[in-house]
Structure 1
Amino acid sequence: MTARPLWRGRTLAVLGIVLVAFSLRSAVASLSPVVDHIARDFPMPAAVVGLIGTAPPVCFALFGLLTPLVERRLGLERVTVIALAAVTIGLVARGLALNAPTLLLATALVFAGVGMANILMPPLVKKYFPDRLGLMMTLYTTVMAFSTFLPPLVAVPVADAAGWRTSLAMWAVFGLAGTIPWLVMLARARGTADTAASAAEEADEPDDEPAGRDAFEEAAAISTGPIVVRPSSSRAFGRLARIPLAWVLAVVFGTSASMAYTAFAWLPTILTEQTGVSPQAAGLLLSLFAFTGLPASLVVPVLIVRFRATSVLYAIGAASAAVGLLGLLLVPDPALSWLWVLLYGLAGLLFPLALVLISIRAREPETAVALSGFVQSVGYVMAAVFPFLLGVVHTATSGWQVPLIILLAALIASIPAGVYAGRHLTVEAAWERRNGRLW
């Protein structure tokens, strides 16, 4: 496929994808830094704080299942607008919360929108930029990494200066801005469809095509140049459960998500109790863990798309993280904590790797929607269970040695899946090889 300039006819798509990517992580990362500020205005029971902590992967898994069904009826662009609207309304409502239950409900709405958008991003990139997958996935994952560590840096200063409500609600600006490119594209497509229908009527020609999703995609193909797709088949989602490659990708994504959510939930506590660093130092080390994902997002997509380096990158990320966990387990020296966290943070290689694989292991964008939903649903179930499981084990054993061994074993056990995922094969081709008929 011949690559064409990124911005030619696709400026709105670039802006839309960047703004969606920024909203995904900033919406999630902006709450926990100001929980203490919120608690000064109304009680924040530990149960509510715990539910807010586990809500992201649970919502992401649930809406990973539901989003492909909605997308089949409405199309990628319309569902993207709905997802961003949910994020925007939820963020504003979070800033207006009157008590802990209303804060929890508003947060659930935010995570519902983020869960939908998570599923849509790889198919959107594949649809509008089939000739620039590496570049766009680099841009997308880098923006997500940047928006992960930015909110913790500014949330508390803004809360101190203008109050926690402003600190929470201000991120809604990005969600609202993200809807604009997609709304403009929908309006243009509608106008093109109406013009085509009028021309057909004047020519006395039958027009059997509905002026819905198909008309939008034909118009988008003219104005922005993506490949034309049809609504994703409901059979595709069910077939994925019978394809080993889909489960391998789910394990890759689930390992990445489990390492990240375990770190966000427990790493500061592990560091203070296992290595003896101060709570302040543990917070800074968690930021170091999050920051490690930024350079990974810059290089991983290009290395995978251009050089097919999936297996090597996965092995490097998993092995480095395993060494970091071994260091925390065997040499819990406060002076070396930064090194162990840095190595563990190289598990951040796995997240952009998993997202790129969702795009390139599907032949058509409609299959990418189903694959994205399947992989992320299974993966976020793992991410929801893992931190909870480690907390239970920690309580039962009164230490972090066994939980660290479990994390280490999970990383090592996932390496064969990372190697298998490096095979140059799409889920459609895998189905056709196994079943002897076309996808």
Structure 2
Amino acid sequence: MTARPLWAGRTLALLGVLLVALSLRTPVAAMSPILDRIGRDIPLDPVVLGIIGAAPPLAFAASGLLAPSLARRIGLEQALLASLVAMAAGHLVRAFAPEALVLTLGSVLALVGVGVGNVLLPPVVRRYFPDRVGLITSLYATLMSVSTAVPALVAVPVADAAGWRVSLAMWMLVAAIAAVPWVAVLVRRRPPAIAEPVDLARTGPIELGAVELGDAQAAATEAAVEHRAPPPRRLGIRLLRSPTAWALGVIFGSSSLGAYASFAWLPTLLVDQARVTEAAAGALLALYAFMGFPAGLLVPVIAARFPRSAGPLVALGGAFFVVGYLGLLLAPGAAPVLWVASAGSGPLLFPLALVLINLRSDAPQTTVALSGFVQTVGYLLGAVGPFVVGILHDATDGWTVPLVFLLAVVVLVLPAGAVLARARTVDSEL
């Protein structure tokens, strides 16, 4: 496909994608640094804290089932707008929560909005930027990392200056601003330049006052691809038979499991194993998170430009995990910076999975269904990580068995990488 100028006729869509990406981690990252302050006003027992801690991956997994159906019923852009409304409402509900139950419900509402946005961004990129999938995915994956780091940095200073309720409520503005371009898109859009009415959740090229993504011939070609694809309501079931869909779910899930387990337990592990101070452990956790930036920028572009690169990239991500975990297991105090940097580079599998959702699907409705499937499988695996690592640590009073468990998870990516190296689309397997 011939690349068009990035801003040509799709400025609103580009701004919308980038602003949504900046919203997608604020409900997760803005709360944990100030839980102690919240607990002074609202009693938070261990059960509530456990629910809040487990809510993100579980809500994201549930949203993988919800988002494709929502997009099919009301349209892709409308569903994405609804996710932003849910995020904004969730921020406000928990900011003004009088008790733990309302705080929990507000968090769940915001996280479901995030989960729906997670699922819908890849098909939105496909719809508006089919010629720039790698670039746009790299940009929004990087901004998602920013939306994880910034709330964690500013939550405490804002709570000190204005109170924890303001610290939580202010992120509603990010979601509200992100909604503005999509409202404008829906107001300006004209019907697709094809003869027959098309379901908004399934269409490819559309117009926003001018031709957005191609002419009538391109739209007709996209419609022909959709016509050959399975009916949308059957896609979720048919994906269960797709090796490519399962391979994407496995690499997404392996990355999520390692990341969630590390954010939950890595500082404690470093204090116990590497004998670093708590301050140093916090700095090393920041290093772990920072290693996602170069991966988010480079991996989608490489995967989009070189179709056969998926297998080697999966192997590279697995190798980074193995080096990091083995270092922490065998010589934790020798080079903790190196081990943490290597383990933090393993989640390059996350942006790789995001871009492959588009590259391994032909029809737009397949992209929506595949995104939901991959993120449901992936976040369910991600939710398992902190629990299993914690249980194994408590049962053995050490970190050897938990690290062996994390190494065993990495083994799963090897057959997944072999499947993805074949560069087959999900549509060809249905």
Tell me how far apart the structure 2 counterparts of residues 169 and 282 of structure 1 sit (CA, whole Å).
30
- Residue 11 of structure 1 is matched in structure 2 by 11
> Which is worse superposed, 27-36 or 363-372?
27-36
Deviation at 1:280, TM superposition (A): 2.1
> Which is worse superposed, 242-251 or 79-88?
242-251
TM-score (norm 2): 0.92
Tell me how far apart the structure 2 counterparts of residues 217 and 307 of structure 1 sit (CA, whole Å).
24
**Is the 1:28–1:111 Cα contact (8 Å) retained in structure 2?**
yes
Partner SS, residue 241 of structure 2: coil
**Is the 1:53–1:265 Cα contact (8 Å) retained in structure 2?**
no
* RMSD of aligned Cα (Å): 2.2
- Residue 244 of structure 1 is matched in structure 2 by 243
> Which is worse superposed, 107-116 or 28-37?
28-37
Deviation at 1:222, TM superposition (A): 4.5
**Is the 1:91–1:106 Cα contact (8 Å) retained in structure 2?**
yes
**Is the 1:319–1:412 Cα contact (8 Å) retained in structure 2?**
no
Tell me how far apart the structure 1 counterparts of residues 139 and 167 of structure 2 sit (CA, whole Å).
26
The reply on whether 1:110 has 2:110 as its aligned counterpart is yes
Partner SS, residue 97 of structure 1: coil
Tell me how far apart the structure 2 counterparts of residues 211 and 314 of structure 1 sit (CA, whole Å).
35
**Is the 1:15–1:181 Cα contact (8 Å) retained in structure 2?**
yes
Deviation at 1:104, TM superposition (A): 0.9
Query: Where does the alignment leave 5 or more consecutive residues of structure 1 unmatched?
Result: 197-206, 432-439
- Residue 317 of structure 1 is matched in structure 2 by 317
Moved over 6 A (4+): 210-217, 229-232
Deviations 1:88-129 (A, max 9, x none): 110122211222221111100011100111110100001110
Give the residue type in structure 1 aligned to 2:170. Answer: M
- Residue 388 of structure 1 is matched in structure 2 by 387
- Residue 176 of structure 1 is matched in structure 2 by 176
The reply on whether 1:72 has 2:60 as its aligned counterpart is no
Tell me how far apart the structure 1 counterparts of residues 343 and 79 of structure 2 sit (CA, whole Å).
36
- Residue 415 of structure 2 is matched in structure 1 by 416
- The correspondence of residues 149-228 of structure 1 with structure 2, limited to 5 A, is 149-189=149-189, 192=190, 209=197, 218-220=206-208, 222-225=210-213, 228=219
Deviation at 1:213, TM superposition (A): 6.7
Partner SS, residue 25 of structure 2: helix
Alignment coverage as a number of residue pairs = 417
- Residue 327 of structure 2 is matched in structure 1 by 327
Structure 1 residues 15, 94: CA separation in 2 closer, same or farther (over 3 Å shift)? same
Partner SS, residue 280 of structure 2: helix
Deviations 1:49-107 (A, max 9, x none): 22111101111111101211111111110000100000011012221122222111110
**Is the 2:61–2:378 Cα contact (8 Å) retained in structure 1?**
yes
Give the residue type in structure 2 aligned to 1:53. Answer: G
Query: Where does the alignment leave 5 or more consecutive residues of structure 2 unmatched?
Result: none
> Which is worse superposed, 354-363 or 391-400?
391-400
> Which is worse superposed, 272-281 or 344-353?
272-281
Deviation at 1:219, TM superposition (A): 4.2
Tell me how far apart the structure 2 counterparts of residues 210 and 372 of structure 1 sit (CA, whole Å).
21
**Is the 1:209–1:215 Cα contact (8 Å) retained in structure 2?**
no
**Is the 1:90–1:110 Cα contact (8 Å) retained in structure 2?**
yes
TM-score (norm 1): 0.90
Deviation at 1:276, TM superposition (A): 2.3
- Residue 136 of structure 1 is matched in structure 2 by 136
**Is the 1:322–1:412 Cα contact (8 Å) retained in structure 2?**
no
**Is the 2:393–2:401 Cα contact (8 Å) retained in structure 1?**
yes
Partner SS, residue 24 of structure 2: helix
> Which is worse superposed, 398-407 or 279-288?
279-288
- Residue 252 of structure 2 is matched in structure 1 by 253
The reply on whether 1:300 has 2:299 as its aligned counterpart is yes
Tell me how far apart the structure 1 counterparts of residues 379 and 80 of structure 2 sit (CA, whole Å).
20
The reply on whether 1:90 has 2:90 as its aligned counterpart is yes
**Is the 1:362–1:428 Cα contact (8 Å) retained in structure 2?**
yes
- Residue 373 of structure 1 is matched in structure 2 by 372
Deviations 1:318-374 (A, max 9, x none): 1112111111111121x6222211111011211101101111100122110000011
Structure 1 residues 370, 146: CA separation in 2 closer, same or farther (over 3 Å shift)? same
Deviation at 1:208, TM superposition (A): 7.5
Structure 1 residues 360, 18: CA separation in 2 closer, same or farther (over 3 Å shift)? same
Deviation at 1:393, TM superposition (A): 1.6
